[in-house]
Amino acid sequence: MGLVTNAADLDRMRAACKDAAKILDYITPFVKPGVTTGALDKLVLEYLTDELKVKSATVGYAPPGYTPFPGAICTSVNHQICHGIPGDRVLKNTDIMNIDVTIIKDGWFGDTSRMYYVGEPSILARRLTDITFECMWLGIAQVKPGNTLGDIGSVIQKHAESSGFSVVREYCGHGIGQRFHQDPQVLHYGKAKTGEILEPGLIFTIEPMINSGRREIRQLADGWTVVTRDHSLSAQWEHSILVTDTGYEVLTVSEGMPPPPAFITA
């Protein structure tokens, strides 16, 4: 776990996170019925390489025991929870999809994800997506010095479960900075007032994965894609967050990002 308090380093981290968010803005108009997830990946790779002049953190990424990930984005459609590999899957009307992107700029990692509707989603899909978005922001609102990681997980779990949904336990948010994944692990469930105490300079992602059915998962034979075991829909949103002296700063901001819910801006 590394605290980042140097002003120049924080500016570099902000720049990396803003570029990651710009990618999600850029790809938005291309997400429509008939497009393949592979075509979206190709557009993203060209944009981040040629326009933003940054590097993909995921192309060739291979933690121990994994084959190298081939894409510049993860495209997780419908009952896919995370780490969906872009390819020849054609998106169709009513699909929902999470696009997750991580880049490296000047040695700093920017990591963010959003949900996208392909055409017109079902009422359930829209509700799941909205509740998951609220879960992320409720978690973000808990970020301030003196609060704990358990405070974040607790509010997310309560909101998801009181809405009739479930929280994926096997994957969590993580510290980020000059490394893609580092401590702390940010669970999206748990007990308030437990776990690590937050302090200024800590940077981590909050990225709840919420299922419309049960929380159990399984991994597909490709070694990456994680799906709901009961084939229920899953949604995820992700921001990278800095703990400040007085609260939090969302680092993965862009012009096209969905605005925070009313309970945040009130």
Structural domains in the chain, CATH included, are: 7-265 (3.90.230.10)
pLDDT at residue 37 above 70? Answer: yes
pLDDT at residue 266 above 90? Answer: no
pLDDT at residue 169 above 80? Answer: yes
Mean pLDDT of 87-110: 98
- What was the pLDDT predicted at 89? 98
pLDDT in tens, 189-244: 999 999 999 999 999 999 999 999 999 999 999 999 999 999 999 999 999 999 99
pLDDT in tens, 134-167: 999 999 999 999 999 999 999 999 999 999 999 9
- What was the pLDDT predicted at 265? 79
CB-CB neighbours of 236 under 10 Å: 27
Mean pLDDT of 85-93: 98
Mean pLDDT of 33-51: 98
pLDDT at residue 51 above 90? Answer: yes
Beta-carbon contacts of residue 207 (< 8 Å; ≥ 6 apart):
113, 136, 172, 173, 186, 188, 236, 237, 238, 239
User: Please, what is the average pLDDT of the chain?
Assistant: 97
SS (H, E, C) the chain: CCCCCCHHHHHHHHHHHHHHHHHHHHHHHHCCCCCEHHHHHHHHHHHHHHHCCCEECCCCCCCCCCCCCCCCEEEEECCEEECCCCCCCECCCCCEEEEEEEEEECCEEEEEEEEEECCCCCHHHHHHHHHHHHHHHHHHHCCCCCCEHHHHHHHHHHHHHHCCCEECCCCCEEECCCCCCEEEEECCCCCCCCCCECCCCCEEEECCEEECCCCCEEECCCCCCEEECCCCCEEECEEEEEECCCCEEECCCCCCCCCCCHHHHC
Mean pLDDT of 47-61: 98
- What was the pLDDT predicted at 1? 65
Residue with tokens 């009513």: 94
Percent over 70 (pLDDT), the chain: 100
